[in-house]
A and B are shown apart, each in its own frame.
Chain A
Amino acid sequence: MFGGASNLAEGVDKAFVFIFTISFIFIIGLTLLMIYILIRYRRSKVKEAMQFSGSIKLEILWTIIPLILVLFMFYYGWVGFAPMREVPDDAMRIRTIGRMWEWEFDYGQGKLSKVLVIPVNKPIRLDLVSEDVNHSLFIPAFRVKEDVVPGYDNWLWFTPLYTGEYEIMCTEYCGLLHYDMVTRARVVEQDEFEEWLENLEATGLVPDHPGLAVLKKNGCMACHSLDGAKLVGPTFKNLYNSQKTVLVGREESVILADDDYIKRAIYQPNDEIVKGYSRGLMNSYEKLITPAEIQLIIEYLKTLNGE
């Protein structure tokens, strides 16, 4: 539980221990006191209740003592938190992109990775960018979390202390596959990191097919895969000019996924639903994608056939 895999973990865990200890003592103590009172003053034994109704001294006492205790708790919380906002100047900066429903780490020069690979014992600063809705980057082992809010330059930092693999999860609800917006942080030795970065393909530098760019801009790949994987919607692989069984209302029919169908599927996505997929998950993109852009998409889909 208290692995302490980053420099920030100790401060957080100290606050945990302090607050939990005091809480535990109070909860147990007051519960035992309550049980004692219930037994000691049960009606079968005590017929006549005492008739007192207050004590200023006690009220002051149990205002002051809890006040002091909670101020200590606040202080521990603050002290553990303060270093999270004091990032060293030499921290390695990694642009971190959250989109529905994946993480992407941008190491510069077009080098993109879906897994966060970082060198051990080096301060890392993640600059959080959202491409659509709110997300939140959470690495439990490092005790760090910060929301990824569109339009805000949020960031977090930490220094990983041990090599190993750690979970990264999205903790701000972001829609259908929120639970699947999970990846890993791999902490490695400095030289291993350098080697990995060296060999990382600079996929970000190759300009996208103009049709793919349209798909990316509209977030289509959140639901439609390019590699044949079944997501929320049908895959784009081998889609163009294929036979599809669709449901119109409840009627089944077989259609050809030609230019015209693809246009209909983008503008009236709920009229003809490919069998096995749900209605109502996709909005019409009539106002967002122009007919010319659809033509680009179709050209791109053609490249996904027969690989």
Chain B
Amino acid sequence: MSKNEKYSHESYLEYQGKYKGIWGWLFSTDHKRIGLLYLYSIAFFFVVAAILGLLIRIELIAPGPTIMDAQTYNGLFTVHGIIMIFIVVIPGLGAVFGNFFLPIMIGAKDVAFPRLNLLSWYIFILGAILAVASQFAGGGAPDTGWTFYVPYSSTSSTNVIFALTAAFILGFSSILTGINFIVTIHRLRAPGMGWFKMPLFPWSLYATAWIQVLATPIVGITLLMVIAERVLQIGFFDPALGGDPLLFQHLFWIYSHPAVYIMILPAMGVVTEIFPTFSQKPVFGYGAIVISSIAIAAVGYFVWGHHMFTTGISYWSRWFFSFLTFIVAIPSAIKVFNWISTMYGGSIDLKTPLLYAISFIFLFMIGGFTGLTLGALATNVHLHDTSFVVAHFHYIIFGGMGFAFFAGIHYWYPKMYGRMYNIKLANIAWGVLFTGFNVLYFPLFIIGIQGMPRRYFDYLEQFHTGHFISTIGAIILIIGIFMMLFNLIYYRHRGAVAPSNPWKGVTLEWQIESPPTHENFEEIPEIKTPPYLFKKES
């Protein structure tokens, strides 16, 4: 097929609805277009926050002030955290690939509430703009860290209220998307698709959606309470007003720990789709993967206390939270074993999506195993609030969720745009990214064990080498990110036309045109077989 030849059907990209041009996107209720709106806005904020992260790393290349003062540094890591957590990572996979592929993978024409879906995007954008504005308006960038710990956050003279409001608004977007997905999965599965004939990415979105709906309101009300404390001087958390500072931490982590699973469950779902396709083999242990998703979502509610091991909570609460933390590690381990077994005995095509997916396993393992030293009480005391924690969660969130996102975009790109990116360049970009990532974050484990605290603008000489190597890694990583972005953007219109099923996948999205038509399916398919059946039934 030549490069200039175009597909012949009318895809969702050309479809003319009530509105034309840009309005056809801004007022579109098509789940695919909304998915792309999320993709572009999230990619934009990701690049912004990644550059903030790079500035943090450059500041830390040597002891003493390098390119900024302490106040700027504190503002930078706060805004980096707020943007990455609330705007990029929490909505990320669900809002982009969930929106785009959930309906297609379960054989539906759209989500259950298309207009609510569009509203969620607008709420998301409102919150995102407010979060960025908080950096510039009034008293200067918020400097509390993304965790907003009271009493500091109730006394800091910076723009904390802006940032809190932004996080509050973003929470609503998350709740509404969650509700939408739950109803979609319950009501819109194609005829014949029983719960256990549903592919595993939708399953992971289902488990995630319940966390979004049940946990997000808690952080919403908590952030409002901090605002009330600042504005009305009501003493909820600030001991100077008669409040309890640990109450804030409990409420905050009751949401923010499950939020980690909002980030990682869909990531697990994405790679679970990729392993069978590139091995041409059914997923290993379908039932085990489903059960482990649900187990993570359920047990994940009861481990928030491990963020508070050193706050002075009681001996036995430390004991129980540590114990449950180890229990929640098991379902993740089960998934890793099943993914590897899925590849075993397959016919493995090591293309870009699989490269990202296997590096996801590798990085996620490092993140997970280092999490065990943080979950154990004795070692946690030493590592708590050191750069070991910073390395650990970047391995989980960036190495896990981030790499799964990159895996997903390289997997579904031909379906979304009907074009193929340059695979060679994509592989090189992967190599640079993967190298940069490890050079950036691995040294932080080591200086963390040596006692380097996190959120330090300056540090003692013995941590210099580690910080220096880490900054070099950051520069490599950012180069890798831009190579990847260039590839995806440049070949969006210039790439070879992609066939409808370039990877020989068997889930429903590969049975329709690339890019899909406005309504996805001309006729809603009837499902008779389990989801990952590679050989035709005899």
- A77-B330 contact, Cβ under 8 Å, with A41-B279, A179-B70: no
B358 pairs with A51, CB closer than 8 A: no
Complex interface: chain A residues within 8 A of B319 (CB): 78
Interface residue from A34, A138, A146 paired with B343 (Cβ < 8 Å): A34
Which of A20, A50, A151, A173 gathers the greatest number of chain B CB atoms within 10 Å?
Answer: A173
**B352 on the A face (CB < 8 A):** no
Interface residues of A in 122-161 (CB under 8 A from B): 132-134, 136, 138, 140-141, 143-147, 149-154
A16 pairs with B373, CB closer than 8 A: yes
Binding site for B on A (CB under 8 A): 1, 11-12, 15-16, 19-20, 23, 26-27, 30-31, 33-34, 37-38, 41-43, 46-55, 58-59, 62-63, 66-67, 70-71, 73-74, 76-81, 84-85, 132-134, 136, 138, 140-141, 143-147, 149-154, 167, 169-180, 182, 278, 280-283
Q: Which residue of A lies closest to B239 (CB)?
A: A151
> In the complex, A151 Cα to B311 Cα: how many Å?
12
Interface residues of B in 329-366 (CB under 8 A from A): 329-330, 333-334, 336-338, 340-341, 343-350, 358, 361-362, 365-366
> In the complex, A15 Cα to B326 Cα: how many Å?
14
**B491 on the A face (CB < 8 A):** no
A19 pairs with B376, CB closer than 8 A: yes
Complex interface: chain B residues within 8 A of A85 (CB): 315
Interface residue from B311, B350, B449 paired with A38 (Cβ < 8 Å): B350
> In the complex, A111 Cα to B11 Cα: how many Å?
79
> In the complex, A67 Cα to B329 Cα: how many Å?
9
Complex interface: chain B residues within 8 A of A178 (CB): 74, 455-457
Complex interface: chain B residues within 8 A of A136 (CB): 310, 384-385
Interface string of B193-208 (1 = CB under 8 A from A): 0000000000000000
Which of B155, B240, B376, B459 gathers the greatest number of chain A CB atoms within 10 Å?
Answer: B376
Q: Which residue of A lies closest to B366 (CB)?
A: A27
A77 pairs with B380, CB closer than 8 A: yes
23 of the cross-chain contacts (CB-CB < 8 Å) are: A15-B373, A26-B369, A30-B336, A38-B343, A38-B358, A50-B281, A50-B345, A52-B345, A55-B285, A59-B338, A66-B334, A76-B376, A81-B377, A85-B315, A136-B384, A138-B451, A144-B381, A151-B245, A172-B385, A178-B455, A179-B455, A282-B157, A283-B155
A70 pairs with B378, CB closer than 8 A: no
Complex interface: chain A residues within 8 A of B500 (CB): none
A53 pairs with B282, CB closer than 8 A: yes
- A77-B346 contact, Cβ under 8 Å, with A1-B450, A31-B362, A62-B333: no
A147 pairs with B312, CB closer than 8 A: yes
A19 pairs with B373, CB closer than 8 A: yes
Minimal beta-carbon separation of A120 from chain B (angstroms): 21
**B288 on the A face (CB < 8 A):** yes
Complex interface: chain A residues within 8 A of B370 (CB): 23
A70 pairs with B348, CB closer than 8 A: no
B334 pairs with A63, CB closer than 8 A: yes
- A132-B151 contact, Cβ under 8 Å, with A54-B286, A62-B334, A149-B246: yes
> In the complex, A306 Cα to B449 Cα: how many Å?
48
A41 pairs with B453, CB closer than 8 A: no
A12 pairs with B378, CB closer than 8 A: yes
> In the complex, A151 Cα to B375 Cα: how many Å?
27
> In the complex, A134 Cα to B285 Cα: how many Å?
46
> In the complex, A58 Cα to B340 Cα: how many Å?
12
Q: Which residue of A lies closest to B453 (CB)?
A: A171
- A77-B312 contact, Cβ under 8 Å, with A173-B152, A179-B458, A282-B157: no
Minimal beta-carbon separation of A87 from chain B (angstroms): 12
B145 pairs with A173, CB closer than 8 A: yes
**B379 on the A face (CB < 8 A):** yes
> In the complex, A229 Cα to B343 Cα: how many Å?
64
> In the complex, A147 Cα to B327 Cα: how many Å?
26
Interface string of B375-402 (1 = CB under 8 A from A): 1111111101110000000000000000
> In the complex, A146 Cα to B385 Cα: how many Å?
11
Complex interface: chain B residues within 8 A of A47 (CB): 347
Minimal beta-carbon separation of A98 from chain B (angstroms): 12
- A46-B139 contact, Cβ under 8 Å, with A59-B334, A78-B377, A133-B152: no
Complex interface: chain B residues within 8 A of A171 (CB): 384-386, 453-454
